Chains A and B, each alone.
Chain A
């Protein structure tokens, strides 16, 4: 809406273009955290429940790694990168609203040991491209009211 502040999409991470899941690589460990971006949460509203895959499983890019429920709509969470799940944020399982409160911080979902980071990252939006992509998505969501 005109006059509203832009929805936060920090440029320090990578974003899946349509599913609105972010990926952030720790330069030291090489591990990648994923979470839901604020654009998606703007559309979904408050989360009532989150379920996440257990650690230890290997997943392909685009595969479902969890499910969420908001306003009686349930939706699968598709991972933007391939890899092995090495950590799960159990805080958001008991307090899904933590995702709404801190989508890029305490509301992260899973941590993966990536199996093809360079290839997967090349498919995602990052850096100086984020602002333009986010503005376009915000406009689309405002017009259509939905995510893909």
Chain B
């Protein structure tokens, strides 16, 4: 038996404190596993555990427009949360039956409940890259995992039931420009929503119901509706005040240097432009554009596969080749794409100003 908690209108600090409280209680065996399905009040920008808020979020705009800012205990990138994005928090004891595997395998296993729930709504989502759920390569949910010192695992997901791309592009510093409608269309191509895929304005509660059922089926458990007891509310309030509301938590900086770079090249199959955002020796984000031909799914598969990928040359070439092979009709070769990514990385390492250095490297076509 798992507990099922459902709530709406969480603040950034309150929502995250509640999740950590549940993980703490489960780790201490003071609670059975808990599935929490909830939404935030409009709106919250949540950065990953180690991200620099000022690098990821348009802070001044958020302050002017009453956008809450918080830091998750889980990793990954910045997200926007509100009434149209369903937050999923699953707290389990660290040693739980059926949850073997590395981080990626466990993330895929945990997300099975979401996949089943979305399927019931007519949305065919699948695990993609390291930690996203996508539909035909377009992201519909982001996933994260935290091994808490209390002895529990906290799985986080944010499901895009709907998404205001224009708002997101004002709140978050995205790897693609977002000044024009065309820019925002390009961003929108990387994501999709439950309502877009279902073809109707599915109510949030219907999504929540199906996701809960999906987890129950996927893990063979019964879910019992539950609320926090007074001890849990007190612990959540303490975590909110002592951790998640504190500047020392929200505004902390990492010593890992952030860098951005781009490379533009002419290939036999068309112009190709790649932008990268790095965190030290890891790629945080890649955006691929140009007038070459390839399916959107092929492009987003590479973008997704290179997220949180080491910048090592051989590893990048291998990953691009393995992902691009599915795009047999593409007019750009895998090696040309990999070379452009590597050039963008080199430019990021050497860039004085972001996106300031463009090159035309040799291509695999000679």
Task: Pick from A1-9, A26-34, A94-102, A125-133 the stretch touching chain B.
Answer: A94-102
Contact A64 B149 (CB under 8 A): yes
| Cβ B100 vs Cβ A146 within 8 A | yes
Contact bitstring A97-114, B, C-beta under 8 A = 1, else 0:
100000000000000000
CA distance A51 to B51 in the complex (A): 12
Q: What are 17 A-B residue pairs whose CB atoms fall within 8 Å in the complex?
A: A46-B281, A48-B50, A48-B308, A49-B75, A71-B75, A71-B103, A71-B130, A71-B308, A72-B144, A72-B145, A73-B75, A73-B103, A74-B50, A90-B255, A143-B100, A145-B105, A146-B99
Expressed in whole angstroms, the Cα–Cα distance for A69 and B71 within the complex equals 14
Question: Do residues B254 and A51 form an inter-chain contact, with CB atoms below 8 A?
Answer: yes
For residues 39 through 72 of chain B, which have their beta carbon under 8 Å from a beta carbon of chain A?
48-50
Q: In the complex, how many angstroms separate the beta carbon of A23 from the nearest chain B beta carbon? A: 18
Query: Which of B94, B107, B281 is in CB contact (< 8 Å) with A72?
Result: B107
Q: Is A93 an interface residue (CB 8 A)?
A: yes
| B residues 326-364 touching A (CB-CB < 8 Å) | none
CB contact list, B254-282 vs A, under 8 A:
254-257, 279-282
Give 8 closest A-B pairs by Cβ, nearest first: A49-B50, A73-B103, A93-B255, A75-B147, A145-B101, A144-B100, A76-B149, A69-B75
Q: Is B243 an interface residue (CB 8 A)?
A: no
Report if A75-B146 is in contact (Cβ < 8 Å); known contacts: A45-B103, A46-B282, A148-B95: yes
Q: Is B318 an interface residue (CB 8 A)?
A: no
Interface string of B147-160 (1 = CB under 8 A from A): 11100000000000
Are A93 and B256 closer than 8 Å at their CB atoms? yes
Count of inter-chain pairs, beta carbons less than 8 A: 106
Q: C-beta contact mask, A118-148 vs B, less than 8 Å → 1, else 0?
A: 0000000000000000000000000111101
B49 touches A67 (CB 8 A): yes
Q: Is A57 an interface residue, CB under 8 A from the partner?
A: no
A94 to B102, alpha carbons, bound, how many Å? 25
List chain B positions with a Cβ less than 8 A from chain A. 48-50, 73-76, 94-95, 99-107, 130-131, 143-149, 254-257, 279-282, 308, 310
Residue of A nearest to B105 (CB): A145
Pair A72/B143 contact, Cβ less than 8 Å: yes
Shortest CB-to-CB span from A84 to chain B, Å, is 19
> Does A78 reach chain B (CB closer than 8 Å)?
yes
Q: In the complex, what distance in Å separates the CA atom of A96 from the CA atom of B279?
A: 10
In the complex the two chains form, what is the Cα distance from A45 to B281 in whole Å?
A: 13
User: A55: which B residues are within 8 A, CB to CB?
Assistant: none
Complex CA distance for A63 and B150, rounded to whole angstroms: 10
A71 to B106, CA, bound (A): 12
For A63, give the chain B residue with the smallest CB separation: B149
Contacting residue for B280 out of A73, A97, A143, CB 8 A: A97
Closest chain-A Cβ to B289's Cβ sits at a distance in Å of 25
With the chains together, A96 CA to B257 CA distance in Å? 11
A51-B50, A69-B50, A144-B101 are known contacts. Are A74 and B310 too (CB-CB below 8 A)? no
Residue in chain A with minimal CB distance to B309: A46
State the Cβ distance, A7 to closest chain B Cβ, in Å.
Answer: 15
A48 closest partner in B (C-beta): B282
Give the chain B neighbours of A69 by CB distance below 8 A: 48-50, 75
Q: Hey, what's the 0/1 contact readout for A40-84 against B, CB within 8 Å counting as 1?
A: 000111101101000000000001100101111111101000000
C-alpha spacing A1/B99, complex, angstroms = 21
Most A C-beta atoms less than 10 A away, residue of B144, B145, B279, B282: B282
Chain A min CB distance to B19 (Å) = 13
Q: How far is the CB of B246 from chain A (nearest CB, A)?
A: 15
B94, B102, B257 interface centre (most CB from chain A within 10 Å) = B102
Least Cβ–Cβ distance between A25 and chain B, in angstroms: 24
Contact yes or no, B101 A96, CB < 8 A: no
| Residue of A44, A45, A49, A144 with most partner-chain B CB within 10 A | A49
A49-B50, A94-B280 known; A74 and B145 CB under 8 Å? yes
Min distance, Cβ A117 to any Cβ of chain B, angstroms: 22
Would A146 and B145 be within 8 Å (CB), given that A49-B254, A69-B49, A93-B255 are in contact?
no
